[in-house]
Amino acid sequence: MKTYITIFFNSEGGRPSDVVDELVQLGFQPISGPYDMVYEWPSNADVKDAINFADQIQMTLEGLGVFFKIETVA
């Protein structure tokens, strides 16, 4: 399973480098292409894990003035 994230920055929000650093601390890796970063799950992860991870992402990005979209695929 993989979770992809797309980040929408705001000129009044946090610096892109700071946002990326926060997401790397969660385990995301920057990639090129249609998504900004990817998180690769261990083989035993399930949908509930992905929902809890979405909560962690939201708490991590709170206050940085960015919007994000995630997509988790098997």
Q: How far apart are CA 24 and CA 5, in angstroms?
A: 12
pLDDT at residue 26, rounded to an integer: 97
pLDDT at residue 55, rounded to an integer: 98
The band of 14, judged by pLDDT with boundaries at 50, 70 and 90, is very high
pLDDT at residue 24, rounded to an integer: 98
Residue 74 has pLDDT above 90, yes or no: no
pLDDT at residue 35, rounded to an integer: 98
Mean pLDDT to the nearest integer, 58-69:
97
Mean pLDDT to the nearest integer, 15-32:
97
All structural domains of the chain with their residue ranges:
2-65
Coil, helix or strand at residue 35:
coil
